[in-house]
């Protein structure tokens, strides 16, 4: 079979071209071709492992600038994974390195507390490189979709529904209107509302925050010098993340551009999202401060309801959960996708080793090792981001004083500061 991307566009009728219903046999079938599932598919196929991936949505519309306004801060470890998966070099837009991070505490419209934390990547050592690279969600989708279509060991089915039957000795994935795929392992990468996780009866703990993440891009008068700002405000953190100016949408040709991730209580977020551009820009400036000069929102605004969640198990018979299907955290530290990439790194390593050793990549002992390696790490990050949000989204005078002193203490304690920096780099 030559053509590996099996697209079924609306209106084409739910049938694949001739031969498309013939049964297939692969090692791994992934359900969900988002950033996590897509990267895992590329990583496995690059290692020569026969893989299939199914997404219920058509893939190319997700590349449109209006589909997802997020930009991810990708840490060094996940960057290496994207390189090994052959995705990094295919990113169509330049990535923007984060060289410094400034953390401050404050109130809307007032100057930030003079007690702040400044992390400079160079303090960790030359070899450590930047804290991370800003990558637009859209750019990642473009690279993934192009790469998935070109990999000989990967079969892509989208848009298509998958019906999964799992038994102790293997699994079968029936692609609606397409083939039935026999495989050793099914991977649920369908995001937070994972039907495969629910069908397996895996319970989930959810922690709603009553906050909304407002995401947009701003052009500003002065350069950002690759500094990211995290400004903790009583109703939630406000982050400015440096972006490269590109010729394409949504930035237009503005020379100095940043992404904004602004957490606000739900009620206030609705008001902010309804403001006209001039008033919206004023509200951003009240939170950002004046160090970047005048700011102007560019492109549209996106909003995401914020909640943390954790699946009680990451595995079941012939099934593993990855990415947001397994865990979701507060975007306060920009680590959600990085955790998903670490799941991919561990699971791909275990599958590749099992196949190389001629053993079963979906065997219970492989899955138990995956869960053991990933669940505690994800739980620790969930707890840390949750604690940070609760500590900083609090306007009590005592708590404010304690955290300002904490910020100042970390700033003065070099080993502690280096530890935080290495953590942020994913080291």
Ligand X SMILES: Cc1cc2nc3c(=O)[nH]c(=O)nc-3n(C[C@H](O)[C@H](O)[C@H](O)COP(=O)(O)OP(=O)(O)OC[C@H]3O[C@@H](n4cnc5c(N)ncnc54)[C@H](O)[C@@H]3O)c2cc1C
Residues lying near ligand X in the complex (CB under 6 A) are found at 31-37, 54-57, 70, 72-73, 162, 189-191, 195, 213, 215, 261, 304, 323-324, 331, 334-338, 340
Q: How far is the CB of 164 from ligand X (least distance, A)?
A: 10
CB atoms within 10 A of CB 417: 19
Both tokens of residue 122?
């160079």
The nearer residue to ligand X, 56 or 107, going by C-beta atoms, is 56
The nearer residue to ligand X, 35 or 178, going by C-beta atoms, is 35
Nearest to 43 by CA among 87, 108, 98: 87
Instruction: Select the residue whose beta carbon is closest to ligand X and give its number.
Output: 34
**Three-state SS at 232:** strand
Please write down the long-range contacts of 108-115, taking CB distance under 8 Å and 24 or more positions apart: 108/233, 108/234, 108/235, 108/286, 108/287, 109/286, 111/289, 112/231, 112/289, 113/404, 113/407, 115/404, 115/405, 115/407, 115/408, 115/411
Q: How far is the CB of 213 from ligand X (least distance, A)?
A: 3
Q: How far is the CB of 404 from ligand X (least distance, A)?
A: 25
Helix, strand and coil percent figures for the chain, each rounded to 5:
35, 30, 35
Q: How far is the CB of 358 from ligand X (least distance, A)?
A: 30
CB atoms within 10 A of CB 204: 18
Q: How far is the CB of 39 from ligand X (least distance, A)?
A: 8
The nearer residue to ligand X, 72 or 314, going by C-beta atoms, is 72
The nearer residue to ligand X, 46 or 73, going by C-beta atoms, is 73
Nearest to 242 by CA among 100, 406, 82: 100
The nearer residue to ligand X, 374 or 400, going by C-beta atoms, is 374
Q: How far is the CB of 87 from ligand X (least distance, A)?
A: 13
- Between helix 336-356 and helix 35-46 the angle, nearest 10°, is 30
The nearer residue to ligand X, 261 or 366, going by C-beta atoms, is 261
Q: How far is the CB of 263 from ligand X (least distance, A)?
A: 8
The nearer residue to ligand X, 34 or 106, going by C-beta atoms, is 34
Q: Are 91 and 135 a contacting pair, CB within 8 Å?
A: yes
């Amino acid at each position: 079979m030559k053509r590996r991307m099996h697209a079924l566009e609306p209106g084409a009728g739910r049938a694949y071209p001739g031969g498309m219903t013939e049964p297939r046999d692969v090692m791994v079938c992934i359900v969900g071709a988002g950033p996590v599932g897509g990267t895992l598919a590329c990583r496995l196929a690059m290692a020569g492992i026969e893989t299939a991936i199914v997404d219920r949505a058509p893939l190319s519309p997700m590349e449109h600038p209006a589909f997802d306004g997020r930009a991810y801060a990708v840490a060094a470890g996940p960057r290496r994974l994207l390189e090994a998966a052959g995705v990094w070099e295919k990113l169509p837009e330049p990535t923007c390195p984060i060289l410094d991070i400034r953390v401050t505490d404050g109130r809307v419209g007032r100057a930030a507390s003079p007690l702040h934390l400044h992390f400079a990547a160079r303090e960790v050592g030359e070899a450590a490189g930047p804290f991370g690279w800003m990558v637009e969600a859209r750019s990642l989708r473009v690279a993934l979709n192009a790469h998935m279509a070109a990999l000989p060991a990967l079969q892509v089915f989208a848009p298509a529904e998958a019906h999964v039957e799992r038994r102790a000795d293997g699994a079968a994935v029936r692609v609606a209107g397409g083939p039935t795929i026999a495989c050793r392992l099914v991977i649920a990468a369908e995001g937070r509302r994972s039907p495969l996780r629910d069908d397996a009866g895996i319970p989930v703990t959810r922690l709603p925050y009553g906050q909304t993440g407002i995401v947009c891009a701003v052009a500003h008068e002065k350069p950002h010098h690759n500094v990211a700002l995290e400004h903790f405000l009583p109703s939630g953190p406000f982050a400015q993340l440096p972006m490269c100016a590109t010729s394409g949408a949504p930035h237009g040709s503005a020379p100095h551009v940043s992404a904004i991730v602004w957490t606000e209580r739900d009620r206030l977020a609705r008001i902010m999202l309804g403001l006209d551009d001039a008033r919206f820009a004023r509200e951003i400036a009240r939170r950002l401060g004046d160090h970047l000069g005048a700011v102007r929102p560019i492109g549209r605004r996106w909003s995401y309801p914020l909640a943390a969640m954790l699946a009680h198990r990451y595995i079941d018979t012939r099934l593993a959960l990855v990415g947001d299907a397994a865990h979701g955290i507060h975007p306060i530290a920009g680590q959600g996708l990085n955790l998903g990439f670490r799941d991919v790194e561990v699971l791909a390593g275990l599958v590749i080793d099992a196949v190389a050793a001629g053993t079963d990549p979906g065997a219970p002992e492989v899955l138990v090792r995956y869960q053991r390696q990933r669940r505690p790490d994800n739980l620790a990050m969930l707890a840390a981001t949750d604690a940070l949000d609760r500590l900083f989204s609090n306007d009590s005078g005592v708590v404010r004083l304690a955290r300002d002193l904490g910020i100042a203490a970390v700033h003065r304690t070099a080993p502690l500061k280096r530890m935080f920096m290495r953590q942020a780099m994913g080291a």
